[in-house]
């Protein structure tokens, strides 16, 4: 798959290593089994169209603790570990309590998917702010991510998010646990009929300088 350039420095392309259909899924274009883990509250924010980016540095269970933007399309897998109400804007903090209240022990509820439209690398809060994207993260959260393994860049993923027509509940297995970004699910999740949460115009407005030109 063709690389997606870093923004705002397109001279350094990121090669996506594979599509979500190879080799993990069975090739059915209406299903998906690759998922990216994210706080449940932030997934709720994405599904409501309040922001169009995710930040990634890497988890301790990943190779060399480094995030790799491996997949262009993926499901969004809600997590609750390390979810911190203090690190997101006050107007979306109720989502933390809501998602916690809706949580079913041992069950993961998949309700949306995302497609990466662009990727940026940033090394400071100022670089991130220059991208001009709308988001709900506090400065403290962004600086926390930047300061974790400061020799590594912070990836900013520009996402086009769609909601599934029918959320799917799956059993949480030990293989899905741990501080890792990517999860390969044991089952394929139907994605036919997924609907974008934002119109093209709304998406472009929220994307700032990350919008591919």
Write down the pLDDT at residue 170. Answer: 96
**What local confidence, expressed as pLDDT, does residue 179 receive?**
79
pLDDT at 155 over 80: yes
Q: What is the mean pLDDT of the chain?
A: 84
Residue 28, pLDDT score: 64
**What is the model's pLDDT at position 136?**
94
Domain 4-16+29-207 adopts which CATH fold? 2.30.130
Residue 60 binned pLDDT confidence (cut-offs 50, 70, 90): very low
pLDDT of the residue at 22? 43
Q: Which long-range contacts (CB under 8 A, 24 or more apart) does 103-107 make?
A: 103/40, 104/169, 106/171, 106/172, 107/169, 107/170, 107/171, 107/172
Does position 51 have pLDDT exceeding 60, yes or no? yes
CB-CB contact of 195 with 121 (8 Å)? no
The pLDDT assigned to 36 comes to: 95
Compute the half-sphere exposure of residue 161: CA atoms within 13 Å on the CB side of its CA: 29
Q: 176: Cβ–Cβ under 8 A, 6 or more apart, which residues?
A: 77, 108, 183, 185
Q: For a pLDDT cut of 90, what percent of the chain falls above it? A: 62
Instruction: Note the pTM of the prediction, 2 decimals.
Output: 0.84
Sequence-distant (6+) residues with CB within 8 A of 88 are 41, 42, 45, 95, 96, 136, 137, 138, 141
Q: What pLDDT shows up at residue 108?
A: 96
Question: Measured on CA atoms in the order 196, 200, 206, 207, is the torsion positive or negative?
Answer: positive
**Residue 213 has what pLDDT?**
66
* Mean pLDDT (whole number) for 9-35: 54
**For position 68, what pLDDT does the model report?**
80
- Per-residue pLDDT, averaged over 148-171, amounts to 94
């Amino acid at each position: 798959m063709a690389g997606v350039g870093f923004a705002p420095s397109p001279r350094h392309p990121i090669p996506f290593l594979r599509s979500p259909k190879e080799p993990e899924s069975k090739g059915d274009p209406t299903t998906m089994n690759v998922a990216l883990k994210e706080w449940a509250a932030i997934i709720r924010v994405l599904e409501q169209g309040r922001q169009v980016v995710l930040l990634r540095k890497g988890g301790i269970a990943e190779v060399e603790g480094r995030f790799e933007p491996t997949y262009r399309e993926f499901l969004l897998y809600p997590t609750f570990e390390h979810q911190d109400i203090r690190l997101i804007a006050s107007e979306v903090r109720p989502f933390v309590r809501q998602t916690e209240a809706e949580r079913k022990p041992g069950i993961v509820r998949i309700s949306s998917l995302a497609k990466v439209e662009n990727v940026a690398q940033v090394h400071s809060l100022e670089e991130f702010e220059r991208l001009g994207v709308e988001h709900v993260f506090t400065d403290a959260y962004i600086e926390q991510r930047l300061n974790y393994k400061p020799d590594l860049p912070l990836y900013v993923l520009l996402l086009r998010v769609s909601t599934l027509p029918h959320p799917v509940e799956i059993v949480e297995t030990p293989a899905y646990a741990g501080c890792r970004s990517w999860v390969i699910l044991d089952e394929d999740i139907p994605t036919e009929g997924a609907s974008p949460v934002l119109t093209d115009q709304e998406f472009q407005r929220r994307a700032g300088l990350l919008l591919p030109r």
